[in-house]
Copies of this chain bind each other. A is one copy, B any other.
């Protein structure tokens, strides 16, 4: 295994330390581990987290107009409840804390425990689970759909709404609405190498790709032969656009009752004329040039299908260590969402320099 690391057990600790050394406005709690910033006003604290290995998500998105804090687990491993609990206590203001969770069984379990613990401390707390991956319904680590790239877009838009002063209930409604308007689909050309495992997470032949891959290398719809990017994107757009009429039950925290409600939620269908925010996201080892080549196909395909690409984001945002491949996320955006998308953001991974 060739990696820029010291001891495997120190990987996350040292990388987070490096982040905070580079960007001194970020503060580090070592035990339990979380990264946070001072509140610049009394806005709701938006907190996310999950297994490490997806950088810059989430800690690289801490900054005015986006996250207040992030709780990194070990690589591809959920953070523990006490990370989110102590983090929530540290960043709470009078307006409360909103946790954004990617839909993986471990994450959901641990975040939900943290929600309950924060509630018992009389901290106003909410949580929204993101499940945007249309590739598979149940997967290696998930009941339901996986939470992937839309997390980046939702953290940005909801972060802007938090910054302007929206209250906890409004932010929950907004985040759930955005999640219902989001879809992602990923493809791997080559597997990633997990430090603790010391080997690649799966194996692909020289002419094979994983179609519908998750952000930990979980299997997708099928292993298929390589093809040109035009054909590949055409197939991805088909999956993204034709996956209609889908609803699922998501647990939502009832602050008044202090209990979980089971809420049926419908994923919105996409129809010609919709305005979309489009992310072409590198999985870690894909050159920027190829992402732009892929974006060209995505843009042309969407315009040909009658959609309007209103905004775009192209680069490495929701990665899987050094996996080669990319994902496409589409978010159906109204004027309000576009306004929040365009609002200033000052996070280390989304701005110029230190």
- CB neighbours (8 Å) of A342 from chain B are 353
Number of copies: 2
Q: Which of A107-125 contact B (CB under 8 A)?
A: none
Q: Is the CB of B322 within 8 A of A324?
A: yes
Contact status of A293 and B354, CB under 8 A, knowing A284-B285, A286-B322, A322-B285: no
Whether the Cβ atoms of B285 and A22 lie closer than 8 Å is: no
**CB neighbours of A344 from chain B (8 A):** 352
Asked whether A295 lies within 8 Å of B56 as measured between CB atoms, the reply is no
With A55-B287, A284-B285, A311-B354: A292-B322 Cβ-Cβ less than 8 Å: no
Task: Name the CB-closest residue of B to A231.
Answer: B6
The residue from B189, B228, B312 contacting A353, defined by CB atoms under 8 A apart:
B312
Partner of A22, one of B14, B56, B290, B292: B292
Q: Which residue of B lies closest to A56 (CB)?
A: B288
Name the B residues within 8 Å of A39 (CB-CB).
none
- Identify which of A136-144, A256-264, A313-321 touches chain B: A313-321
Q: How many chain-A residues does the 8 Å CB contact rule pick out?
A: 66
Residues of A318-354 whose CB lies within 8 A of B: 319, 321-322, 324, 326, 341-342, 344-345, 349-354
A18 touches which one: B21, B189, B295, B350 (CB < 8 A)?
B295
Q: Which of B15, B290, B313, B315 contacts A3 (CB 8 A)?
A: B290
Chain B residues near A226 (CB-CB < 8 A): 2
Q: How far is the CB of A292 from chain B (nearest CB, A)?
A: 4
Closest approach, in angstroms, between the C-beta of A274 and any C-beta of chain B? 17
Is A17 part of the binding interface, using a Cβ–Cβ cutoff of 8 Å? yes
With most chain B CB atoms within 10 A of its CB, the pick from A6, A55, A288, A290 is A288
**Is A230 interfacial (CB-CB < 8 Å)?**
yes
| Dominant secondary structure at the A interface | mixed
Which chain B residues border A17 with CB–CB below 8 Å? Answer: 296
Interface check A70, CB cutoff 8 A: no
Which residues of B are found within 8 Å of A12, using beta-carbon distances? 289
Q: Shortest 7 CB-CB distances between A and B: which pairs? A: A18-B296, A18-B292, A285-B285, A4-B290, A55-B288, A2-B189, A55-B289
Q: List 25 A-B contacts (CB under 8 A).
A: A2-B207, A3-B189, A3-B290, A4-B286, A4-B326, A6-B229, A7-B228, A15-B290, A17-B296, A18-B294, A19-B292, A21-B299, A22-B295, A55-B292, A284-B285, A285-B285, A287-B319, A287-B322, A313-B354, A315-B349, A322-B324, A341-B353, A350-B352, A351-B351, A351-B352
Using a CB–CB cutoff of 8 Å, the interface residues on chain A facing chain B are: 2-7, 11-12, 14-19, 21-22, 52-53, 55-56, 60, 189-190, 206-207, 209, 226, 228-230, 232, 284-296, 299, 311-316, 319, 321-322, 324, 326, 341-342, 344-345, 349-354
